[in-house]
Structure 1
Amino acid sequence: MARTRKQKIYLALKIIAALILVVIACFFIFRDALLQKAIQKVSVKMDTEYHSTFVVKKAAFEGFCGINAEEVSLVPKNADTLFNIKKIRTSVNFWKLLTGNVQIGTLEIHDGFVQLVKKGNEKNFDAFLKRDKTEDLPGEKRDYAEFAYRLISKALNLIPTDMTLENLAFRLNDNGKKANINFRKLSLIDKQLETAINVQTDNFSQNWRITGFADPRDNKADIRFFNIDTGAIRVPYLDERYNLKSSFDSIRVKVDNIDMDGGELHLDGFASIANLKINHRRIASKDVIIKNARFDYRFLLGENFVSVDSTSTVSLNSLKFHPFLSYDTESDTVYRLKVAIPKMKAQDFISALPDGLFTHFQGMETEGSFSYNLDFMFNKNKPGALVFDSKLDKENLKIIKYGEANLNKLNGDFVYHAIENGREQRGILVGQANPNYTPLGQISPYLRKSVLTTEDPSFFSHRGFISEAFKQSIIKNIKTKKFSRGASTISMQLIKNVFLTREKTLSRKLEEILLVYILENNRIASKERMLEVYFNIIEWGPNVYGIGEASRFYFQKSPSELSLNECLFLAGIIPSPKRFMWQFDGDGNLRSYVKNNHAGLTNLMLRRGVLTADDTIYKSLPVIINGPAKNFIRLKVKDSTATDSLRIDEEFEF
């Protein structure tokens, strides 16, 4: 009985072996015909689905599973050639091919190019950007881990274990903005990568080198990217396209692990860059230089989430912190960000700040240490539930020497220069020697109350920032997908005016936040002194700075004599002081919408107990401009076709 069973097993194995041999034999007999049929199938698909012509002038098998092809091209209809390669020689894993997977073993490419061309709004790769509608079936959620793992696996299978490229160019032409990256030679032999690359643009020519270790079958790599010529590597195309100048000395990327475990995809490794230099008008007015940056990453992808795990570490010079980012769609669409800076010396933090990004901190010396934690969460379907918690723990933290921004100057006399369009304006002495300077006690209480209500109601209780206003600002900016609302306090406006500029850069905003925190949390100046300086430096009209000048410019009064209505008017023009005249009609009277705004502000102050009913006895009296400002109103009325540039550029001379 046992012998009969063994005989059956042997017979089955013989049959299977015979079938395999038949398959292999048929493959060898018909493989050239099958190859031509496969090329024809691809050609038809390129034509029907992508409106492109795919041509292989000559193709044939070589050896057991090698393929030679010549003059391979893809040309979209009515567009520039997408790629053209003179000669391709490759081999595939036969057994993987039988299971439906394409795994490239060797690859040789000689003489060819791949090019992306944009002319006007037309691109030669437009047809290939269309999303495959069959990818997402109605009511079916994508498994991020499975999708990413499948995509990565296919990509790695297409990377050969042995590869040689010679004279393969990648060309980019964006409406005349050109870059050409020519791989004169690229070889991957015995898992060792070597390259010789020439880069040509309209502005520069460089020779790059990529070298290192790469094993696409074991999911590991350690690659370095640097310049053969002297000097830093310049990044092509970004300069001409986005006016973003950037360069670096070297980049290193290491992949330690790509693994699917328990339904989760894990990707581990690190990336580093040396001497990264960036220059863009929206980032800073100077070159921003990061000497050393490194990201030790651990990406996790599950069925419903994509995240950067909190065990990841970001290093910027000597500063290190642990980020956590996630995108979760299990129940709602939720974005999370957490940042944890472990306890570190404050001076190490100051020294680690990138050059050019925090110029006002250069030369600052500190003592003590701190740690910091940020927790941010935004639910797309419940925006009101936004979480923004920022916590800094200090230990003997103090400033022993200020940098360029010496915050102590707020406590004494100094000369303030406003900056308009990058130009320094006339000096305003903040001190008693200036006849227009007005101490806080000599400013009408109505003006103090009106301005605090409109600009910063909790000025005397907060520490530079209003958490709720900041949250609402974030919600509004996310909804509108732009920076449409700020959360500026008087403290922030003071720092911006006295120590910084009005340039709209990331650098200026970051410096503003840090300087405000230092000013408010180290009690460098009292709240009363800060408010007094604020009233005496802010712009109230064309070339009108400080409340002393403003009260005479509009009403021929001292600041202590201003009425409630006059104070409401002055508080209302702070956001756009040079356009005050457009609040008046042709007869020189306040427009109805302005009166309604003043009435609303009055009612708000009454509800909050800032005003009493007795304060509003003379509320019905009109606002009469009898100072030099009335000439601007007359000019506006006289020239009904006045443009924005006219009403902004006119200035009053003191």
Structure 2
Amino acid sequence: MRTKKQKAFLIAKIVSVFFVLVIVGLFVFRDALLQKTLVSISRKMEQDFNSSFSVKKAIFVGVTGVEMDDVLLVPKNADTLFRIENIKTRISFWHLLTGTIRLESLDAKNGYVQLVKNENGRNFDAFLLKKKDSTNTGDKPNYAKLAYRILNRALNLVPTDMRLENLSLRMNDMGHKSTISLQKLELVDKKLESSIQVQTNTFNQRWKIKGIADPRNKQTDIRFFNIDTGKIKVPYFDERYNIKSSFDSIRLNVSNIDMDNGELHIDGFTSISNFTVNHHKIASKDVVIKNARFDYHLLFGENFIAVDSSSTVLLNQIKVNPYVSYTNETDKIYTLKMTIPKMKAQDFISSLPEGLFTHFKGMEANGNFDYHLDFVFNKNKPNAVVFDSKLNKENLQITKYGEANIDKLNGEFVYRAIINNVPQRPILVGSGNPNYTPLSRISPYLRKSVLTTEDPSFFSHKGFINEAFKQSIVKNIRTKKFSRGGSTISMQLIKNVFLTREKTLSRKLEEILLVYIMENNKIVSKERMLEVYFNIIEWGPNVYGIGEASSFYFQKSPSELTLNECLYLANIIPSPRKFMYQFNSEGNLKSFAVNRDKQLKRLMMRRGIIVSEDTIYQMPILITGSARSYIKTKVEEVPTEIEQPTSIEEFDF
């Protein structure tokens, strides 16, 4: 009888012999298996992707090495997608036995990936991710496991020993061409170094990538910078989207990728220096961020993805702690929390990106502040959006204004509207202009009507209406575009007097900050804001201020306007240059405009702004001023220039 020890030894011997036989079998038949695998790949490419895949020569080198020559992938009736002259690779044998492919080394030279879009379509369409079947199985992905699996597969394909030579990425998007040529890349003993040539229709540059890459320990620290003088320019986007961007250097660091208690943690940082971007939707000039850094702590759970609040964003001297998350445990919920810890107001002003806040240049301030934003959007319950914004001040005071001197609203000044980047005629805002109308001489009906349509809570809010912001966010998310702004009279006033009508990120951010400064520092009284607003807004083509508008439409002074006339004037504020299309061939308001004015009247009565006695003896409006020449009646009249009650050309502007 054999002892247990002898039996165990015998089993171990049998297993060893078995593995030896398997290894020998694989070694003997490996070339046949390799050819069979390549044939299988070729068939799959043809069947699933309508593409031709071929390898001119493929052989094993050593025990686990493979060498291939002239590897080619060509979609049917399209430009070549991928080609490489020679590739040598060595894989981990033991990982292969467990069904995992891990590259130990890679040598490749003379090849390219080519992405082409022309009148015949795109040569890579067949390889894009297909839309999933609309049938809902009810299964939810485990984000932690999914992300960890993808990362592991990707890192296993990064060899610890790599040499690449003369490889390129070519892009041709309807004639917008860019080529990024990897002239040389070496990864030896975790040290990575490469030289890259970039060529587009507009520039040529040489880049360098240098640093440490350790795929097995899931760590990297690399830096991109320009070998030549000047900054690195970002290719393709300048021609395709008219976005011009550049930077001195970018650093990317990944210090930790770890799966712990079902959660995936990814830690590291990325930084960029002297980043410059120019696009007409951002600002009218270059926007420059001198130094920016993002220390990130990413979390992936079973049903959530998050940027942890321990992450830090540094923008020059501005420090921000963000928290961003998406969860689908029950509902699909998007969360954004942002905190700016206590900092000096002057440091904040000095750290604003150049070109993005031009009206703040030269501004000085004392004191400190901290800021907190809490935003939650539930896609399944969109009307329950949370938007809470708080700024805490500590002896905060503006001591010197920049280009936008808000205090000028308290005195006499000259206003010029800007339409399509063209300054309009000057309007003197003050008693020196005979058309200027103090608030006390404007019909109370007009004040009430305009406040109802434009900003009902004007006298109680501090420049912003949280509920309007919430509804604006909900509508913008639903329509997937900026279709609603939630603008108050304070915001309209700042936009008209100090800013332009251009729809840029810069203009909107400046508007928000200037309104906050004006309202929260009580620089201008509410009554003065409303008075200036009535005297500068556009009421018709080349008609500015209520003094000109009253004469233009009704040949009256603003104090003589009737309720119906005020309802009409309040309702044309959004599109004053198109007022004439609201009238029929008899010169009377069309039914839709009449009903619109009636709805406003009923709303004001429900809110107690007017009473039933106010509506007695109200006649339909009759256009008697020079505005009548713009209305197409049965007897055609030739439009004449707007009669300006008094010319102000005598003022030296």
TM-score between both structures, scaled by the size of structure 1: 0.97
Contact 1:113 1:169 in 2 (8 A): yes
1:477 maps to amino acid:
N
2:592 maps to amino acid:
Y
What are the superposed Cα offsets for residues 246-298 of structure 1, whole Å, 9 maximum, x if unpaired? 00000000000011111111000000000000000000001000000100000
Q: How far apart in 2 are the matches of 1:47 and 1:268? A: 41
SS of 1:246 mapped into structure 2: strand
Contact 2:272 2:292 in 1 (8 A): yes
* Pairing 1:197–2:187 present: no
1:632 to 630, 633, 636: 630
* Pairing 1:440–2:430 present: no
Which residues in structure 2 correspond to 1:113-192 (within 5 Å)?
113-120=112-119, 122-131=121-130, 133=132, 138-192=137-191
Aligned length in residues: 644
Which residues in structure 2 correspond to 1:434-583 (within 5 Å)?
434-583=433-582
Shift of residue 618, structure 1, vs aligned partner: 2.1
Residue 97 of structure 2: aligned partner: 98
Residue 269 of structure 1: aligned partner: 268
Shift of residue 132, structure 1, vs aligned partner: 7.5
* Pairing 1:425–2:424 present: yes
Shift of residue 638, structure 1, vs aligned partner: 3.8
Residue 643 of structure 1: aligned partner: none
Residue 647 of structure 2: aligned partner: none
Residue 586 of structure 2: aligned partner: 587
Stretches of structure 1 that go unaligned for 5 or more consecutive residues are 640-645
Residue 403 of structure 2: aligned partner: 404
SS of 2:298 mapped into structure 1: strand
Q: How far apart in 2 are the matches of 1:553 and 1:277? A: 48
Shift of residue 607, structure 1, vs aligned partner: 1.1
* Pairing 1:342–2:331 present: no
Shift of residue 614, structure 1, vs aligned partner: 1.3
Contact 2:270 2:295 in 1 (8 A): yes
1:571 maps to amino acid:
A
Contact 1:543 1:653 in 2 (8 A): no
Q: How far apart in 1 are the matches of 2:125 and 2:612? A: 68
What are the superposed Cα offsets for residues 427-472 of structure 1, whole Å, 9 maximum, x if unpaired? 1000101000000000000100000000001100000011111111
Which residues in structure 2 correspond to 1:298-309 (within 5 Å)?
298-309=297-308
Which residues in structure 2 correspond to 1:341-420 (within 5 Å)?
341-420=340-419
Distance 1:132 1:285, change over 3 A: closer
Shift of residue 652, structure 1, vs aligned partner: 2.5
Contact 1:581 1:636 in 2 (8 A): no
Contact 1:234 1:248 in 2 (8 A): yes
Q: How far apart in 2 are the matches of 1:486 and 1:68? A: 60
Identity of aligned residues (%): 65
Distance 1:530 1:267, change over 3 A: same
Distance 1:91 1:478, change over 3 A: same
Q: How far apart in 2 are the matches of 1:482 and 1:208? A: 37
Q: How far apart in 2 are the matches of 1:9 and 1:651? A: 108
SS of 1:393 mapped into structure 2: strand
Which residues in structure 2 correspond to 1:290-301 (within 5 Å)?
290-301=289-300
Shift of residue 136, structure 1, vs aligned partner: 9.6
Shift of residue 134, structure 1, vs aligned partner: 8.7
Contact 1:444 1:562 in 2 (8 A): yes
Contact 1:136 1:142 in 2 (8 A): no
Contact 1:284 1:357 in 2 (8 A): yes
Residue 651 of structure 2: aligned partner: none
Shift of residue 653, structure 1, vs aligned partner: 5.2
Shift of residue 130, structure 1, vs aligned partner: 3.2
Shift of residue 119, structure 1, vs aligned partner: 1.2
Contact 2:446 2:570 in 1 (8 A): yes
Residue 85 of structure 1: aligned partner: 84
2:305 maps to amino acid:
V
* Pairing 1:652–2:642 present: yes
Residue 614 of structure 1: aligned partner: 613
Distance 1:261 1:410, change over 3 A: same
1:566 maps to amino acid:
E
2:617 maps to amino acid:
Y
What are the superposed Cα offsets for residues 104-153 of structure 1, whole Å, 9 maximum, x if unpaired? 01001110111111113711111111338599982211111111100010
Q: How far apart in 1 are the matches of 2:123 and 2:42? A: 17
1:411 maps to amino acid:
N
Stretches of structure 2 that go unaligned for 5 or more consecutive residues are 645-653
What are the superposed Cα offsets for residues 317-339 of structure 1, whole Å, 9 maximum, x if unpaired? 11011000001000000000000
1:623 to 592, 610, 621: 621
Contact 2:367 2:395 in 1 (8 A): yes
Residue 37 of structure 1: aligned partner: 36
Q: Which moved more, 1:225-234 or 1:115-124?
A: 115-124
Q: How far apart in 2 are the matches of 1:225 and 1:63? A: 36
SS of 1:553 mapped into structure 2: helix
2:461 maps to amino acid:
H
CA RMSD after TM alignment: 1.6
Q: How far apart in 2 are the matches of 1:226 and 1:462? A: 49
SS of 1:236 mapped into structure 2: coil
Q: How far apart in 2 are the matches of 1:333 and 1:653? A: 58
What are the superposed Cα offsets for residues 579-605 of structure 1, whole Å, 9 maximum, x if unpaired? 011110011000111111111111111
SS of 1:81 mapped into structure 2: coil
Contact 2:584 2:632 in 1 (8 A): no
Q: How far apart in 2 are the matches of 1:41 and 1:637? A: 82
Which residues in structure 2 correspond to 1:272-283 (within 5 Å)?
272-283=271-282
1:161 maps to amino acid:
T
Q: How far apart in 1 are the matches of 2:328 and 2:579? A: 49
SS of 1:311 mapped into structure 2: coil
What are the superposed Cα offsets for residues 187-245 of structure 1, whole Å, 9 maximum, x if unpaired? 11111001010000010000000000000010000000000000000000000110000
Q: How far apart in 1 are the matches of 2:78 and 2:497? A: 56
Shift of residue 637, structure 1, vs aligned partner: 7.6
Distance 1:8 1:113, change over 3 A: same
What are the superposed Cα offsets for residues 456-512 of structure 1, whole Å, 9 maximum, x if unpaired? 011000000111111111111111111111200000000000000000000000000
Residue 110 of structure 1: aligned partner: 109
SS of 1:625 mapped into structure 2: coil
Moved over 4 A (4+): 132-137
2:107 maps to amino acid:
E
TM-score between both structures, scaled by the size of structure 2: 0.97
Residue 642 of structure 1: aligned partner: none
Distance 1:612 1:238, change over 3 A: same
1:93 maps to amino acid:
S
Contact 1:81 1:115 in 2 (8 A): yes
Shift of residue 634, structure 1, vs aligned partner: 3.5
2:227 maps to amino acid:
I
SS of 1:457 mapped into structure 2: coil
* Pairing 1:224–2:223 present: yes
2:121 maps to amino acid:
E
Q: How far apart in 1 are the matches of 2:105 and 2:554? A: 85
SS of 1:433 mapped into structure 2: coil
Q: How far apart in 2 are the matches of 1:344 and 1:70? A: 61
SS of 1:629 mapped into structure 2: helix
What are the superposed Cα offsets for residues 5-60 of structure 1, whole Å, 9 maximum, x if unpaired? 11011111111110111011111101111110111111111111111111001000
